Chain A
Amino acid sequence: MSDLSTRERIHPGTAPGEDFHLEIIGDGDFDTAEMSLSIGPAHPATHGVFRIVLDMDGERVIGARPVIGYMHRGFEKLAEYRDFRQIMALVNRHDWLSGFSNELGVALAVEQMLEMEVPDRAQWIRMLIAEWNRVLNHLMFIGSFAIELGAITPMFYAFREREDIQHLLESATGGRLHFTYNQPGGLKIDLPKGFMQQSVDLLAQLRKRTPDFTDLILGNEIFQARTKGVGPLPADVALSYGVTGPTLHATGVPEDSRVTEPYLKYDEVDVHVPLGENGDSFDRFSCLLGRIDASLDIIQQIHDHMPAGPVNQKLPKMVKAPEGSTYVRTENPLGQLGYWLESDGGRTPWRLKMRTPSFSNVQAIPYLLNGVLVPDAVAVLGSVFFVVGDIDR
């Protein structure tokens, strides 16, 4: 049984510190049988094939056990059989919403091992695409979270913008989801003619349209009632679980690799990290929305800075990283992504270990779900932003 007080058990929607007047008939206690409820692996509320087993007391969750592994595709093992250029096409698929940011981490790791100087222009273009990719990712979560709460419209708004951004990125990289645009030492090809102008136009268009999301979702009374005070995550718990990204920022911790440990040229631009206060579902979602604006600000600065020059280096036929190991961490849209790459001097990595943000973020779910109602469980699950492929690899 749960260790919650009777009052809290009877009125579950109470936010911490909030006073509730509820008339309790009898002694206020009644017996219920515990039962186990398996949600997933194919369930619309768990976007993807995430499975979670809830232990229920009445309609209240008293324990949650995520069952992962339904999307385990063996990335780490497969990477040992792909050479350093082929890995790019593999790693951008584990978190399928942020393909570019994934391959960027591996590219940085290989370059670090080879002690390679990457041309300035390549680094700025990488930042530009990575930030567009971040916007793409966040738009998807805006749509899916709203759908989980019962609002269909934001999905159509989000995909209107997503299609435009994908069209832009496709013109440069040839891919809509998996860009495979990086290679050790830079990028595969330069941006096409007219790309920068299109990017500037698209930025202006998005600036006009992002307030729609704020008005449509954040101001909505039902949305607020469903998310405010639901699933609060304290900062120390978040840190102890290794939670990163918007889920951590919502608790008020400004940890962002782009600021604390800048890679590429992030030290030359201003990176704003939107923070929350309570760490509840509402804060997590508004941090996500805030990050879109922050990314648009960065894109604006990149447009102003973009230098001319080469975008890659001549690579030997076979890229071989020297013996040794390295760890690179980058700020993925969903949190901190780390690649630990070890090479024995051969043509393929000896070992590639991933530290993926979604895997760490879902570790906090049993804590968050303890004591919430089933409908609130959906609001919590949707606001701990994760991609199933990123959990299971």
Chain B
Amino acid sequence: MGLMDQVELPQPVKYVFNWGRKYSLWCFNFGLACCAIEFIAASTSRHDFIRHGVIPFAHGPRQADLLVVSGTLTDKMAPSVKRLYEEMPEPKYVISFGSCANCGGPYWDSYSVTKGVDQIIPVDVYVPGCPPRPEALLDGIIALQDRIQGESLKDRIAGRRLDPITLGADAPLAIEGATGGASGGPT
């Protein structure tokens, strides 16, 4: 990374730098189950997260900044997710999209389901819902972008992460009138 991980950038440079980073998140969708359909819905015309600068056409994990794990993670699948995550270059972000990726969801008592993707990779934003509405994904993206804006890249690369954001848990939803998927009402 050269200088970035050595020195703290001066505030104006940091601002511009982070502003550029947050609006060009190349996104690698790890579509596993039902939530992947809502992810696709969020990328098509009605919801369209490309207007937020999230580009869902990363050719692979090596070109991606953001990993969206959408759907049920099974024990058989888990090594692949870990490997793809490790292939991504720093600084990298993870959105856990849907209850299954958060904690196992409706399969909390299943013998073959990993109870949350955070057991194998660190997560930045949890989006609850089964499946969450596309608006909830937009909300998660905006929450992540807010975090990137204020972030110190030096800390990030050094592995000093902030606590993950859980949508709907403490902060009010960013989009007016959005409901947090099946698990939450309007806040």
Give A48-74 interface residues, CB cut-off 8 Å to B.
Answer: 48-49, 69-74
Would B45 and A74 count as touching, CB distance under 8 A? no
Asked if B142 CB lies within 8 Å of chain A CBs, one says: no
Would B74 and A71 count as touching, CB distance under 8 A? yes
- Given known contacts A156-B44, A160-B46, is B76 in contact with A176 (CB within 8 Å)? no
**Who on chain A is nearest to B77 by CB?**
A70
Asked if B53 CB lies within 8 Å of chain A CBs, one says: no
Nearest Cβ distance between residue A79 and chain B, in whole angstroms? Answer: 11
**Who on chain A is nearest to B104 by CB?**
A73
Would B111 and A77 count as touching, CB distance under 8 A? yes
Would A73 and B38 count as touching, CB distance under 8 A? no
Would B37 and A97 count as touching, CB distance under 8 A? yes
Would B113 and A74 count as touching, CB distance under 8 A? yes
Would B46 and A163 count as touching, CB distance under 8 A? yes
By size class, the interface of chain A is 20 to 34
Would B45 and A156 count as touching, CB distance under 8 A? yes
**Cα of A71 to Cα of B33 in the assembled complex, Å:** 8
Contacts of B30 in A (CB 8 A): 42
Give B147-168 interface residues, CB cut-off 8 Å to A.
Answer: none
Asked if B31 CB lies within 8 Å of chain A CBs, one says: yes
Interface residue count for B (Cβ, 8 Å)?
Answer: 30
Would B44 and A155 count as touching, CB distance under 8 A? yes
Nearest Cβ distance between residue B63 and chain A, in whole angstroms? Answer: 14
Interface string of B7-42 (1 = CB under 8 A from A): 000000000000000000000001111101110110
Asked if B182 CB lies within 8 Å of chain A CBs, one says: yes
Nearest Cβ distance between residue A217 and chain B, in whole angstroms? Answer: 17
Asked if B131 CB lies within 8 Å of chain A CBs, one says: yes
Asked if B6 CB lies within 8 Å of chain A CBs, one says: no
Asked if B84 CB lies within 8 Å of chain A CBs, one says: yes
**Who on chain B is nearest to A86 by CB?**
B106
- Given known contacts A90-B106, A93-B34, is B41 in contact with A72 (CB within 8 Å)? no
**Cα of A78 to Cα of B130 in the assembled complex, Å:** 17
Give A77-110 interface residues, CB cut-off 8 Å to B.
Answer: 77-78, 81, 89-90, 93, 96-97
Contacts of B112 in A (CB 8 A): 72-74
Contacts of B84 in A (CB 8 A): 42
What would 12 A/B residue contacts be, using CB atoms closer than 8 Å? A42-B30, A73-B113, A77-B111, A93-B33, A93-B34, A97-B37, A156-B44, A159-B41, A163-B44, A163-B46, A177-B34, A178-B182
